Structure 1
Amino acid sequence: MARRETPEINAGSMADIAFLLLIFFLVTTTMDVDSGVSKKLAEKTPPDVDLPKIKERNIFEVNINRNNQLLVEGEFMEPKDLKDAAVKFIDNGGGVGNPVGDEEGKECDYCQGDKDPESSDHPNKAIIAVESDRATEYGTYLIVQNELLSAYRVLRNRLCQQKYGMSFTELEQAFKDSQRKDDDLRKKLELVKKSYPQIITDVDPTSVQ
């Protein structure tokens, strides 16, 4: 009986198709981007410059220990409660008259806080100091930063709504839609940002439990 030969399969076209599919997936696939926090690092202060004295009541201490636990002003706090606590501190407006108000000694006339004399004098003087342990998880740090930024967003939205009938988010979008050329919108944005400046500083990480 004659031996039947197995017909060969031309794989040349299949290689071309596989190559085209590889190019297609490389072009169309989106890559995951690691999350991060946009930070502008402060420049080193020259040795001959006298640093201004900061009153303790104008500093809001936020600590994250190595167990990813949050301590605010020395007391344990859940991350979900941090935003409200930061809003209360920033918006306190405890300074009345010179020299405990803003940089010009003026009382905060737009603050709606408790005006507690033991808390911040003015949003322009309210400093949030974040200290983390070297063993703190990065995800926890990001959660804390997001809550603090949300606190400023709440206050800016409220003030912008009162002054211009729109939220700060909407004002920012309107300015972007104008291709950043509308001077009136620019001035409004600068005024709101100046009223509630984001003053968040990172303290050197510790190694203490």
Structure 2
Amino acid sequence: MSRRTISGINAGSMADIAFLLLIFFLVTTTFEEDEGIKGVIPKPCPEGVDCSSEIPEKNIFTIRLNRNNELMANNEEISIDELRNDVKAFIDNNGDQSCDYCHGLKKTNLSDSPLKAVISIHTDREASYDRYIGIQNELAGAYYELRRDLCKAKFGKAIEDLTEEELKILQDSYPFRITEAELN
């Protein structure tokens, strides 16, 4: 009669090794932070100060995104591809001719100056997030292009080569003024 012995592997320390590897990878792994959409929340209005002001209709560019992802700008249906140029024309219009760096057409139904231009976005809750992000990208692209053109004309160099002061001048020349509301 022969006796068979089954040799086994001592797995008692395997759990310890797996635990140490898990700790090692958790400690050494870096996680990228989500950047999200950059925005500046306004400071609250000081007590006793009236912070409300009437904005003339011509200084407001209204963008509406409905539940079917249909895009309207100033009550006209447009495509996302047209949005950037329409926003640039609105912001850079120079309707009151107070802007010496603007190249707009000076139309009476568009904004008076980049300092008075406001973009108002109204989004339906059921609109697609991708479409909303597409609108945000087009708005950021419009402002970037206006600032880039001013940078070349005023400083003769690329935006990446600007000092903090020069960058501030561009941002003050074309301030990013966007309001958001939900469609009812």
Question: TM-score scaled to structure 2, two decimals?
Answer: 0.86
- The match for 1:21 is 21
Residues 154-194 of structure 1: CA distance to partner in whole angstroms, max 9, x if unpaired?
A: 111111111112222432xxxxxxxxxxxxx2321221111
For residues 44-193 of structure 1, what are the structure 2 equivalents within 5 Å?
Answer: 44-45=44-45, 49=50, 51-96=52-97, 107-171=98-162, 185-193=163-171
Residues 54-84 of structure 1: CA distance to partner in whole angstroms, max 9, x if unpaired?
A: 1111110001111122111111222232111
Corresponding residue SS for 2:103: coil
The separation in 1 between residues aligned to 2:106 and 2:50, in whole angstroms, is 32
List gaps (5 residues or longer) in structure 1. 97-106, 172-184
The separation in 2 between residues aligned to 1:47 and 1:75, in whole angstroms, is 40
Q: CA deviation at 1:21?
A: 2.9
List gaps (5 residues or longer) in structure 2. none
- The match for 1:40 is 40
The separation in 1 between residues aligned to 2:155 and 2:29, in whole angstroms, is 42
Q: CA RMSD in A?
A: 2.2
The alignment covers a number of residue pairs equal to 183
The separation in 2 between residues aligned to 1:74 and 1:28, in whole angstroms, is 53
Q: Which amino acid in the other structure matches residue 200 of structure 1? A: I
Aligned identity (percent) is 43
Q: Which amino acid in the other structure matches residue 119 of structure 2? A: I
Contact 1:36/1:142 (CA < 8 Å) preserved in 2?
no
Question: TM-score scaled to structure 1, two decimals?
Answer: 0.77
Q: CA deviation at 1:85?
A: 1.2
Q: Which amino acid in the other structure matches residue 87 of structure 1? A: K
